């Protein structure tokens, strides 16, 4: 049972999500909520959120029983999985009843030795469930074993009178459950669906990549009824506080501007921030300042904790060494020449057969690397390519990454998360106004950019429909270009699907809405709409140039 994790006071900016998930069992029982699919980029804190939730539910009362299970460390042979899943559930249940967490963590105690303890607590029905599982095992009934284990939390909720909150971490790995060899039983994971339909047993499911989670459900109704909750990166100020707090524990003072710059560089990703703090400690930094950012970042990306993390992800998802090299080449090609997607041309450039290219593309998508949108991962790909394909030395790799780091810091990046409340679009407009003034933008040009931004934000809020009532705003600015990305959850649309209605027709019909994208297209130099996992991203691009007197014109 994950009752550890980072201290509660350091778990920042997730209070809203925790509050909803703590109430999930009651809401689900009353028909006011569904199961939750917890989404987010790698390292965004999904596992840590489940740990915090498990800890709070465990200690706050006796009304709801928490059960946490991670597929990352699970044995995926079905018979072994069934016994492990059931045993962990029974131990966590009795630990909750007695409020003794060590009972859940005692991996050495066999299930049969818990029988007297279960009996003394009036949990005879759990002993009966264990006997039923044993019967299926003795009879060689594989599906009976798996179903008996998976349905144990739902059965406990019914027999014990307490709802059970099931937290399944790294659930995307459950699709690889097998009988004797990998791939021989692709339907086993669907056995979870019966338990998920039980109102007394709400499930919170998470894992990476998100596409793998969505594909698990075979029941369309269950897929539709499952709530999507996405963890966004930490806002700049929260990310800064988190990083400085980590360094404080290591007795390394940190300049606030340095922390802000690093937080912006890694886009508020908690995993990267932890890794960068470890890098600073390994380098024995006395004080972490602006001059230390590039050194720690480049070292961690190429040889540190972040490099190890992504190397492990690639090794797990792409076990073949030959295919791994092809994947790496293709990822690097996409960085250097974005937009080259013609299969025949890619085959020629990479020097691979069409069949191998198809397999490579499938692996990239299956591992969630196709639309990763992660500059840290991009830098890792460059470092790995230099090492494994080009055979460059460690010093050369550090120098090349350092040059790229210096070039990229010439652009200014600003990110913020805005709740979907009244006049949220005006908050976004004011933020961009300050950026425009820093660039000395002409006021008329700035007004038109703000108008396009306001219309985009209003459209994002009107087309949402998700639990997650937040907009993520990202602005990248330079002397020649301003790029604004607005991301929101909910229903998707494309620019091609928008029907242009003549102005005269709109006026005659008295329409007050429906003007947004007409104005946006006329105002901006480029408008892109794309789907990134479960979110819609609208990117507004305005090209600008500086004139002699310092004013920016169209």
The pLDDT of residue 439 is 72
The pLDDT of residue 289 is 92
List own/partner pairs for 313-318 with CB under 8 A and 24 or more apart.
Answer: 313/42, 313/367, 314/367, 317/363, 317/366, 317/367, 318/363, 318/367
List own/partner pairs for 251-258 with CB under 8 A and 24 or more apart.
Answer: 252/280, 252/281, 252/285, 252/286, 252/287, 252/288, 253/286, 253/287, 253/288, 254/287, 254/288, 255/287, 255/288, 255/289, 255/290, 257/290, 258/288, 258/289, 258/290, 258/292, 258/293
The residues facing 482 across adjacent strands are 477, 542
User: Both 425 and 451 in a single domain?
Assistant: yes
E strand spans, 370-509: 412-419, 470-477, 481-489
User: Both 161 and 116 in a single domain?
Assistant: yes
Q: Report which of residues 47 and 225 the model is more confident about.
A: 47
Q: Report which of residues 404 and 67 the model is more confident about.
A: 67
Does the residue 109 lie in any domain? yes
pLDDT at 230 > cutoff 90: no
State the average pLDDT for the chain.
81
The string of pLDDT tens digits covering residues 120-176 is 888 888 999 999 999 998 898 888 999 999 999 999 999 888 999 999 998 888 878
pLDDT at 224 > cutoff 60: yes
Residue 371: exposure state from Cβ atoms within 10 A (0-12, 13-18, ≥19):
middle
The pLDDT of residue 409 is 57
Helix axes 443-462, 424-438, angle to 10 degrees: 150
pLDDT at 249 > cutoff 60: yes
Contact 229, 19 (CB under 8 A): no
User: Both 381 and 527 in a single domain?
Assistant: no
Listed residues 410, 437, 472: the one ending a domain: 410
User: Both 161 and 187 in a single domain?
Assistant: yes
At residue 97, what are phi and psi to the nearest 5 degrees?
-60, -45
Distance CA 215, CA 194 (A): 17
The pLDDT of residue 351 is 75
Helices (H) and strands (E) in the chain, counts: 26, 12
Who contacts 255 (Cβ-Cβ below 8 Å, separation ≥6)?
Answer: 287, 288, 289, 290
Q: What is the mean pLDDT of residues 211-234?
A: 76
Q: Report which of residues 503 and 60 the model is more confident about.
A: 60
Does the residue 350 lie in any domain? no
Number of domains the chain is built from: 3
pTM: 0.73
pLDDT at 310 > cutoff 90: yes
The pLDDT of residue 479 is 66
Contact 14, 22 (CB under 8 A): no
pLDDT at 347 > cutoff 70: yes
Q: What is the mean pLDDT of residues 240-269?
A: 90
Helix extents (H) in 197-342 = 210-214, 220-225, 236-249, 256-265, 270-282, 290-303, 305-317, 321-336
User: Both 53 and 102 in a single domain?
Assistant: yes
Does the residue 339 lie in any domain? no
Which structural domain range is residue 83 located in?
8-230
The pLDDT of residue 482 is 84
Q: What is the mean pLDDT of residues 436-462?
A: 83
Does the residue 546 lie in any domain? yes
Does the residue 14 lie in any domain? yes
User: Both 120 and 162 in a single domain?
Assistant: yes
- What is the CA angle 202-209-69, rounded to 5? 40
User: Both 459 and 537 in a single domain?
Assistant: yes
At residue 528, what are phi and psi to the nearest 5 degrees?
-125, 140
Q: What is the mean pLDDT of residues 70-78?
A: 84
pLDDT at 547 > cutoff 60: no
Q: What is the mean pLDDT of residues 290-318?
A: 91
Residue 197: exposure state from Cβ atoms within 10 A (0-12, 13-18, ≥19):
middle
Residue 506: exposure state from Cβ atoms within 10 A (0-12, 13-18, ≥19):
middle
User: Both 240 and 221 in a single domain?
Assistant: no
Q: CATH code at 429?
A: 3.30.565.10
User: Both 225 and 98 in a single domain?
Assistant: yes
User: Both 218 and 237 in a single domain?
Assistant: no
- Nearest Cα to 464, choosing from 433, 424, 412? 424
The string of pLDDT tens digits covering residues 467-517 is 667 888 888 877 677 888 888 876 655 544 444 444 444 334 444 444 466
pLDDT at 214 > cutoff 90: no
Does the residue 188 lie in any domain? yes
Q: Which of 78-87, 90-99, 167-176, 184-193 has the lowest mean pLDDT?
A: 184-193
Q: Give the 3-state secondary structure of residue 305.
A: helix
Listed residues 348, 379, 410: the one ending a domain: 410
Q: In which element (H, E) is residue 66 found? A: strand 65-70
At residue 225, what are phi and psi to the nearest 5 degrees?
-85, -10
User: Both 492 and 392 in a single domain?
Assistant: no
Who contacts 437 (Cβ-Cβ below 8 Å, separation ≥6)?
Answer: 446
The string of pLDDT tens digits covering residues 22-52 is 999 999 988 888 899 998 888 888 999 999 9
Does the residue 207 lie in any domain? yes
Q: What is the mean pLDDT of residues 373-402?
A: 91
Distance CA 410, CA 270 (A): 24
Q: Report which of residues 57 and 519 the model is more confident about.
A: 57
Q: CATH code at 168?
A: 3.40.50.300
Listed residues 384, 410, 436: the one ending a domain: 410
User: Both 107 and 254 in a single domain?
Assistant: no
Distance CA 269, CA 277 (A): 13
pLDDT at 387 > cutoff 90: yes
Does the residue 330 lie in any domain? no
């Amino acid at each position: 049972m994950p009752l550890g994790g980072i201290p509660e006071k350091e778990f920042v900016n997730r209070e809203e999500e925790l509050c909803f998930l703590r109430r999930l069992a009651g809401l689900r029982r009353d028909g006011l909520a569904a199961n939750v699919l917890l989404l987010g980029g790698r390292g965004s804190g999904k596992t840590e959120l489940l740990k915090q939730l498990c800890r709070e539910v465990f200690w706050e009362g006796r009304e709801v029983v928490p059960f946490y299970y991670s597929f990352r460390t699970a044995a995926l042979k079905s018979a072994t999985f069934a016994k492990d899943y059931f045993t962990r559930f029974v131990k966590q249940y009795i630990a909750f009843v007695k409020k003794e967490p060590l009972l859940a963590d005692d991996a050495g105690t066999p299930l049969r030795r818990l029988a007297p303890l279960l009996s003394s607590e009036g949990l005879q029905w759990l002993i009966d469930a264990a006997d039923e599982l044993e019967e299926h095992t003795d009879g060689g009934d594989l599906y009976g074993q798996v179903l008996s284990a998976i349905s144990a939390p739902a059965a406990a909720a019914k027999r014990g009178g307490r709802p059970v909150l099931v937290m399944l971490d790294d659930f995307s790995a459950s699709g690889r459950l097998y009988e004797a060899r990998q791939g021989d039983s692709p339907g086993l994971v669907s056995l979870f669906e019966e338990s998920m339909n039980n109102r007394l047993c709400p499930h919170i499911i998470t894992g990476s990549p998100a596409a793998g989670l969505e594909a698990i459900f075979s029941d369309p109704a269950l897929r539709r009824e499952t709530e999507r909750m996405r963890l966004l990166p930490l806002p700049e100020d929260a990310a800064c506080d988190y990083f400085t707090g980590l360094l404080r524990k290591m007795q390394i003072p940190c300049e606030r501007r340095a922390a802000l710059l690093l937080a912006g560089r890694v886009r508020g990703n908690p995993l990267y921030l932890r890794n960068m703090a470890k890098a600073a400690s390994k380098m024995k930094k006395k004080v972490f300042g602006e001059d230390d950012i590039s050194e720690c970042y480049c070292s961690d990306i190429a040889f540190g904790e972040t490099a190890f993390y992504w190397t492990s992800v690639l090794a797990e998802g792409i076990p073949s060494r030959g295919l791994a090299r092809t994947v790496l080449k293709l990822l690097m090609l996409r960085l250097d020449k974005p937009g080259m997607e013609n299969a025949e041309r890619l085959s020629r450039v990479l020097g691979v057969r069409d069949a191998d290219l198809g397999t490579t593309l499938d692996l990239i998508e299956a591992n969630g690397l196709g639309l990763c949108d992660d500059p840290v991962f991009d830098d890792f790909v460059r470092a790995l390519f230099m090492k494994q394909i080009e055979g460059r030395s460690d010093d050369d790799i550090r120098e090349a990454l350092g040059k790229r780091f210096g070039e990229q810091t010439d652009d200014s990046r600003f990110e913020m998360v805005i709740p979907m409340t009244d006049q949220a679009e005006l908050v976004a407009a004011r933020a961009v106004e300050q950026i425009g003034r820093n660039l000395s933008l002409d006021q008329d040009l700035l007004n038109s950019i703000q108008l396009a931004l306001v219309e985009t934000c209003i459209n994002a809020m009107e087309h949402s429909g998700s639990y997650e009532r937040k907009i993520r705003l990202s602005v990248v600015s330079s002397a020649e270009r301003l790029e604004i990305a607005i991301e929101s959850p909910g229903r998707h649309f494309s620019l091609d699907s928008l029907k242009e209605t003549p102005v005269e027709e709109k006026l005659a019909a008295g329409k007050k809405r429906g003007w947004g994208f007409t104005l946006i297209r006329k105002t901006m130099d480029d408008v892109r709409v794309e789907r990134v996992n479960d979110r819609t991203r609208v990117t507004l691009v305005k090209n600008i140039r500086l004139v002699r007197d310092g004013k920016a014109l169209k």
